[in-house]
């Protein structure tokens, strides 16, 4: 319920923007609290608070963004939640945000965005040397309705290995799994693009891929 007059409401928004521009964090947050008495949507209130905190490089912004996105998801406003996560990722690659975005795309069965976001997730995990989290997340998609998408996620994993951690001891094992999945899917176009990408990134691994490849795919 709006408790401010229309004029006061407009002035408050102006003051909020002004305080943020001038770097006055506490005054900006105080105006935010006043404004939120006149905003019906709680998720938006948390999102705005997170935006203010982020503008001051306050680490609390992440937790507020999570709360906002979770509230949007409870209301089944999934695109709003996606927008929140993408907004954060424009600023920094936080692994919990990428995971949360993966969850939404998984729920919506958005194949293309799931694969694209998994690529970012793999990059962040490998840079942090957290392969356990990466592998667990990959395996969680084994029940995804489309096996070809699970195969594409494996392809993405191999590409990420070659880009960010080519000496990883798990590479050959997942290379074999990727080839096996591609064989099951019988998608020669995907397999050929995978082979060409591996050749582009690493000649020795390309040789390994050719060794795994059955005659019917050569």
pLDDT digits (tens, 9 = 90+) for 42-100: 898 889 899 989 988 888 999 999 999 999 999 999 999 999 999 999 988 999 999 99
Q: How confident is the model at residue 24 (pLDDT cuts 50, 70, 90)?
A: confident
Task: Report residue 4's pLDDT band, with 50, 70 and 90 as the boundaries.
Answer: very low
Q: Is residue 55 part of a domain?
A: no
Q: Residue 17 corresponds to which tokens in the numbers above? A: 């923007």
Q: In the chain, what is the greatest distance between 2 CA atoms, to the nearest angstrom?
A: 76
In a domain, 24, yes or no: no
Domain presence at residue 84: no
Q: Which of 93, 111, 123, 97 is nearest to 148 (CA)?
A: 111
H-helix segments, 41-170:
42-55, 60-74, 78-91, 95-108, 111-127, 131-140, 147-164
The answer to whether residue 85 sits within a structural domain is no
- Tell me the pLDDT band of 200, cut-offs 50, 70 and 90: very high
pLDDT confidence band for 38 (50 / 70 / 90):
low
Q: Would residue 42 count as lying in a domain?
A: no
Model pTM above 0.85: yes
Q: How far apart are CA 187 and CA 152, in angstroms?
A: 11
Q: Whole domain around residue 197: which residue ranges? A: 93-218
The verdict on residue 69 lying in a domain is: no
Instruction: Name the residue among 169, 135, 133 with its Cα closest to residue 154.
Output: 135
Span of 29-38, 109-118, 129-138, 201-210 with lowest mean pLDDT: 29-38
Note whether residue 22 is domain-resident: no
Whether the per-residue pLDDT at 143 is higher than 50: the answer is yes
Percent of the residues in the chain that have a pLDDT greater than 70, as a whole number: 89
- 182 assigned to some structural domain: yes
Confidence at residue 153, expressed as pLDDT on a 0 to 100 scale: 98
**Overall domain count for the chain:** 1
């Amino acid at each position: 319920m709006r408790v401010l007059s229309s004029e006061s409401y407009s002035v408050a928004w102006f003051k909020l923007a002004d305080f943020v521009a001038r770097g006055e964090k506490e005054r900006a947050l105080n105006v935010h609290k006043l404004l939120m008495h006149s905003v019906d949507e709680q998720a938006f209130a948390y999102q705005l608070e997170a935006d203010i905190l982020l503008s001051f490089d306050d680490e609390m912004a992440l937790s507020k963004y999570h709360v906002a996105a979770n509230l949007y998801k409870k209301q089944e406003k999934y695109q709003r939640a996606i927008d929140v996560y993408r907004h954060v990722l424009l600023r920094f690659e936080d692994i919990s945000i990428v995971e949360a975005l993966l969850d939404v795309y998984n729920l919506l069965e958005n194949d293309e965005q799931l694969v694209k976001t998994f690529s970012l997730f793999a990059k962040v995990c490998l840079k942090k040397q957290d392969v356990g989290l990466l592998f667990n997340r990959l395996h969680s998609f084994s029940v995804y309705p489309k096996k070809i998408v699970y195969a594409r996620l494996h392809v993405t994993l191999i590409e990420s290995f070659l880009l960010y951690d080519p000496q990883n001891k798990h590479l050959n094992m997942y290379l074999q799994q990727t080839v096996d999945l591609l064989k099951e899917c019988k998608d020669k176009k995907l397999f050929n693009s995978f082979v060409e990408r591996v050749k582009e990134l690493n000649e020795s691994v390309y040789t390994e891929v050719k060794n795994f490849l059955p005659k019917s795919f050569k």
